[in-house]
């Protein structure tokens, strides 16, 4: 997904692989939220339904506001590929300290669906009738 973000004109400031540990995930994401140069965060993986999938528990407490429709839209779009298995996806998004945060499943298809059909458009100021740019930290 980092390559797609760069191709769309976005700057990728950091990229990490983290253990499925709530506090490690939360600490790293908190650092990015506090970093004035970070406008958006995309997290892949850890959004499933197993006991080791902890991304939602790690980042939900950090949100100032949850984007509730993101998970619903992602599951609707994923249904076309994986049917009712999409029920086990806990994709989510929110805003914290003027930083937009997206968390999506780590599979290649899920990342492609999220990026191409939702995130790319919402991080583009030209997308109408609305996008997340007005809610993000100004550079």
pLDDT tens digits, one per residue of 49-79:
999 999 999 999 999 999 999 999 999 999 9
- What CATH number has the domain bearing residue 26? 3.40.980.10
Can you give the residue range of the structural domain that contains 6?
2-135
Give the model's pLDDT for residue 139. Answer: 67
**Per-10-residue mean pLDDT for the chain, 139 residues long?**
86 90 97 96 94 96 97 96 95 98 96 96 95 87
Domain count, the chain: 1
What tokens does 81 get?
């590929």
Question: According to the 3-state scheme, what is the secondary structure of the chain?
Answer: CHHHHHHCCCCCCCCCCCCCCHHHHHHHHHHHHHCCCCCEEEEECCCCCCCCCCHHHHHHHHCCEECHHHHHHHHHHHHHHHHHHHHHCCCEEEEECCEEEEEECCCHHHHHHHHHHHHHHHCCCCCCCCCCHHHCCCC
């Amino acid at each position: 997904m980092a390559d797609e973000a760069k191709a769309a004109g976005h700057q990728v400031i950091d990229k990490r692989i983290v253990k499925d540990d709530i506090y490690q995930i939360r600490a790293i994401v908190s650092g990015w939220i506090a970093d004035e140069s970070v406008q958006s965060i995309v997290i892949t993986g850890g959004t499933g339904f197993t006991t080791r999938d902890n991304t939602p528990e790690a980042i939900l407490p950090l949100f100032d506001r949850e984007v509730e429709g993101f998970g619903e839209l992602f599951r609707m779009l994923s249904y076309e590929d994986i049917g009712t298995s999409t029920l086990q996806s806990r994709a989510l998004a929110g805003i914290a300290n003027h930083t937009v945060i997206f968390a999506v499943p780590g599979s290649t298809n899920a990342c492609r669906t999220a990026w191409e059909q939702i995130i790319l458009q919402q991080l583009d100021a030209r997308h109408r009738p609305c996008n997340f740019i007005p809610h993000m930290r100004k550079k």
